[in-house]
Amino acid sequence: MLSYSGWNKDANPVGQLPQLLAPMGIESYVVTSGDEAADLIREIPIHIAVVDLGIPLQRQQHAGPAGGPRILQLLRRLDQPPPTVVIRPPQPSQRESQRTLREALREGAFAVLDMPLRIETMLETMRRVLCKHYADNWPGGPCSN
């Protein structure tokens, strides 16, 4: 599952993931609000989640509280929480950066990546998730660390 907070999906590495992972047999679902994420979490098993902290909480919401923290809480409360990669916008200060990192890790994040990020960083993080949580099987062969 990928959550999306309005970044240009074609220019942003996270938005490119569905296209890049599909040939490897990895199915991706993209949501644009915390509400959509909650619906998806109830409907299908999530094996890896990529959560944008800046995603709106409600559909059609342009301002107000972000839904990313709520999505992290929902995922953490599942019987089998999936590994979660958190994407966060540039942080205004070192203090805020440390705070959001602590909160994401407390909610069970596997990794926290800062925007802007490169596709190579995202793919390497996904490879690490698969290696650690899914029997060392990266599509195309075993993991090598």
Tell me the residue range of the domain where 118 lies. Answer: 2-142
Q: Let me know the angle formed at the C-alpha of 77 by 104 and 102, rounded to the nearest 5 degrees.
A: 15
Q: What is the pLDDT of residue 2?
A: 64
Q: Structure tokens of 72?
A: 């992290």
Q: What is the pLDDT of residue 143?
A: 62
How many domains, the chain? 1
Q: What is the pLDDT of residue 3?
A: 65
Are the C-beta atoms of 24 and 140 separated by less than 8 Å? Answer: yes
Chain mean position to CA 94: 22
pLDDT 10s per residue in the chain (145 long)? 666 555 544 456 677 888 888 887 788 898 988 999 999 999 999 999 999 998 888 877 666 678 899 999 999 999 999 999 999 989 999 999 999 999 999 999 999 999 888 888 988 998 899 888 877 665 555 565 5
CATH (domain of 32): 3.40.50.2300
From CA 39, how far away is CA 60, in angstroms rounded?
15
